[in-house]
């Protein structure tokens, strides 16, 4: 299958919304990015519609169409009858005029092909050889059966879609012409690629082309409806195929099924043998084609769109020749995706790695996009999912990691909300504040255990507390406080560090220093006294010596005379 739905990797935010809405889980996750598995995809467009980041994009065929228009061959447009829902108030003649201005050689309604197809359905009903007939107009339904319900291929009508029937009829009537289908559907691009069409545009792409050329659509009267023709214009609404039929085999029950989940439910019922003698009109989009991906993404007005299409439909069929059944016949083959399945032991091992160790851990919450944990485990084994996609697993892992830190850090942590109520407290803080059980303070006013003033200052945006040391007399502790206000969570976080021993050691050292200084002062004072006494004694001795020497000098001098 060619890739008609692509992913803009830079926009994927790993939200898993696409896999939640994918009916066949044809999305693979790797490196926190989603990747479409083309072989499994049925091109329903659910991921395109529901992606909140617009990370999915439909392959643009505007350039291809412009190349065709610039060529020598005539290009004729086949316009799906759902145009009445997308281009509100616009008749086909006005749309045809706009297409001619773009360079198309002509434009016709796909409802002409729908008329051929519904007549072939009526022929099958008259023949009555089939027990169950499922309409083959919706390419997504065809892909769903071919890939996931191959046992029901015999129920799928072997009839080409209105788009195929019409475009082939155009090429029979206009040899050498190129055909471009224009509609609300993503999967028609794939169908056109595998059929005899040259290109397929969405209504959104056509709007872009008209805007680039400055072409404005003029509102006009419903000329087709006034002529009374075009009963098959009802094909785009739920029940429109059955409603357009002029013959119905009374032995059959007629069912209208729209919406991909409903289609899958009915196919499972058929697979189990629950239905017989049924004609099932099946469309993957809710409301049928008027609820197609392009319509639902940008212009989802189901009631207004239904009225626009039905009011435009005629009361009788288009007057056109019916081709031979062989010209409308198509053989559909099974193309089941190759997907291996793990053993029960391998599934159990993956479940263990996901933390699903007991029935209590198997929540089947669906946040990963899979309905059950078992389906998720199988997808992991197949390489389509990652263990980290499990939200409960991530939360438990994160909580376990953070709890290990909180429980083992020597620092106290106290969390208070904007109402000054305790939201959390770790074991270290409980020891510091003499709290026996966490439940004693959780949800209680913080004033019960400490002064709320710093918390109020933090909430009012005043100067933050950073490394403030305070003595808590009631606890007999010195605590260093750092406070942070987290505006996102609306909580004030208080970090406490017990510095009691440090303060005691500091005080002990201060006292020792004081005593040392006092001792030193006393020693100095005593030494000074000793010095003074020595000085005093030395002074008396010198005086006496001087007197003695003076007397000796005088005596010696006297003797010399």
Q: Tell me if 533 is assigned to some domain.
A: no
Q: Are residues 362 and 491 in the same domain?
A: no
- Could you say which of 17, 44, 59 is where a domain stops? 59
pLDDT of 224 strictly over 50: no
- Tell me which DSSP letter residue 119 carries: H
428-436: which pairs have CB atoms within 8 A and are 24 or more residues apart?
A: 428/496, 428/498, 429/496, 432/475, 432/477, 432/479, 432/496, 432/498, 433/472, 433/475, 434/475
Q: Are residues 352 and 318 in the same domain?
A: no
Greater confidence (229 vs 160) lies with 160
Q: Are residues 32 and 69 in the same domain?
A: no
- Could you say which of 295, 328, 361 is where a domain stops? 328
Distance between CA atoms of residues 407 and 514, nearest Å: 41
Strand partners, 478: 471
pLDDT in tens, 96-144: 999 999 999 999 999 999 999 999 999 999 999 999 999 999 999 999 9
pLDDT of 31 strictly over 80: no
Q: Tell me if 398 is assigned to some domain.
A: yes
Q: Are residues 232 and 318 in the same domain?
A: yes
- Could you say which of 59, 82, 106 is where a domain stops? 59
Q: Are residues 185 and 36 in the same domain?
A: no
Reading across the β-sheet that carries 468-472, which strands appear in turn?
422-425, 412-417, 491-498, 477-486, 468-472
Strand partners, 257: 282
Owning domain of residue 55: 1-59
Q: Are residues 193 and 269 in the same domain?
A: yes
Distance between CA atoms of residues 232 and 83, nearest Å: 14
Provide the number of structural domains found in the chain.
Answer: 4
Q: Are residues 122 and 234 in the same domain?
A: yes
Alpha helix segments (H runs only) across 316-382:
325-328, 344-353, 373-381
Q: Are residues 277 and 188 in the same domain?
A: yes
Q: Are residues 162 and 113 in the same domain?
A: yes
Distance between CA atoms of residues 462 and 128, nearest Å: 85
Q: Are residues 369 and 438 in the same domain?
A: no
Burial of 231 (0-12, 13-18, 19+ CB in 10 A): buried
Kindly report which listed range (171-180, 203-212, 351-360, 533-542) carries the lowest average pLDDT score.
533-542
Distance between CA atoms of residues 450 and 461, nearest Å: 20
- Collect all residues with Cβ–Cβ distance below 8 Å to 451 and sequence separation of at least 6: none
Q: Are residues 346 and 224 in the same domain?
A: no
Distance between CA atoms of residues 273 and 275, nearest Å: 6
Q: Tell me if 551 is assigned to some domain.
A: no
The structure's pTM equals 0.74
Residues in the chain: 561
C-alpha pair distances (Å), 291 with each of 25, 46, 58 = 21, 11, 17
Q: Tell me if 353 is assigned to some domain.
A: yes
pLDDT in tens, 352-370: 888 888 887 788 888 788 8
Q: Are residues 30 and 135 in the same domain?
A: no
The CATH number of whichever domain residue 480 belongs to comes to 3.30.450.20
pLDDT in tens, 192-202: 987 778 999 99
Beta strands in 189-299 (DSSP E): 199-202, 253-258, 278-283
Closest by Cα among 24, 465, 17, 32 to 264: 24
């Amino acid at each position: 299958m060619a890739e008609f739905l692509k992913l803009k990797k830079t926009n994927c935010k790993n939200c898993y919304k696409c896999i939640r809405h994918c009916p066949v889980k044809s999305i693979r996750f790797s490196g926190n990015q989603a990747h479409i598995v083309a072989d499994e995809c049925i091109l329903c467009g659910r991921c395109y519609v529901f992606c909140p980041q617009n990370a999915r994009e439909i392959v643009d065929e505007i350039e291809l169409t412009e190349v065709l228009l610039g060529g020598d061959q005539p290009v004729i447009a086949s316009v799906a009858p759902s145009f009445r829902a997308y281009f509100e108030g616009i008749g086909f003649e006005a749309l045809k005029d706009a297409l001619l201005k773009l360079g198309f050689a002509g434009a016709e309604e796909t409802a002409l092909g729908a008329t051929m197809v519904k007549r072939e359905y009526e022929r099958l009903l008259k023949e009555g050889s089939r027990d169950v007939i499922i309409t083959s107009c919706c390419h997504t339904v065809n892909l769903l059966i071919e890939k996931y319900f191959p046992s029901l291929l015999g129920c799928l009508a072997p009839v080409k879609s209105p788009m195929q029937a019409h475009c082939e009829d155009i090429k029979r009537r206009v040899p050498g012409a190129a055909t471009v289908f224009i509609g609300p559907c993503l999967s028609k691009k794939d169908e056109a690629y595998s059929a005899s069409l040259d290109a397929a545009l969405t209504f959104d792409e056509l709007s872009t082309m008209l805007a680039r050329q400055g072409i404005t659509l003029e509102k006009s009267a419903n000329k087709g409806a006034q002529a009374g023709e075009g009963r098959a214009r009802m094909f785009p609404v739920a029940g429109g195929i059955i409603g357009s039929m002029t013959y119905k085999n009374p032995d059959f029950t007629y069912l209208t099924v729209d919406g991909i989940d409903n289609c899958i439910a009915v196919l499972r019922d058929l697979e189990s043998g629950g239905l017989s003698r049924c004609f099932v009109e099946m469309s993957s989009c809710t409301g049928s084609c008027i609820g197609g991906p392009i319509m639902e993404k940008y212009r989802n007005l189901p009631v207004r769109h239904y009225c626009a299409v039905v009011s435009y439909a005629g009361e009788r069929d288009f007057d056109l020749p019916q081709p031979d059944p062989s010209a409308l016949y198509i053989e559909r083959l099974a193309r089941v995706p190759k997907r291996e399945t793990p053993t029960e032991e391998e599934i159990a091992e993956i479940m263990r790695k996901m933390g699903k160790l007991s029935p209590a851990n198997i929540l089947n919450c669906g946040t990963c996009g899979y309905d059950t944990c078992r389906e998720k485990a199988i997808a992991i084994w197949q390489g389509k999912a990652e263990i980290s996609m499990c939200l409960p697993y991530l939360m438990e892992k994160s909580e376990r990691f953070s709890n290990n830190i909180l429980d083992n850090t020597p620092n106290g942590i106290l969390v208070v909300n904007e109402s000054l109520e305790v939201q959390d407290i770790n074991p270290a803080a409980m020891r510091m504040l003499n709290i026996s059980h966490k439940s004693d303070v959780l949800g209680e006013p913080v004033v019960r255990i400490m002064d709320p003033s710093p918390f109020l200052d933090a909430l009012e945006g005043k100067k933050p507390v950073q490394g403030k040391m305070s003595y808590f007399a009631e606890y007999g502790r010195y605590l260093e406080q750092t406070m942070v206000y987290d505006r996102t969570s609306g909580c004030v976080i208080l970090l406490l560090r017990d510095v009691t021993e440090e303060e005691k050691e500091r005080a002990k050292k201060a006292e020792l220093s004081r005593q040392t200084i006092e001792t030193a002062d006393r020693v100095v004072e005593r030494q000074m006294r000793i010095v003074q006494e020595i000085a005093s004694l030395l002074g008396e001795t010198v005086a006496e010596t001087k007197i003695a020497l003076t007397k000796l000098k005088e005596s010696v001098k006297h003797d010399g005379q």
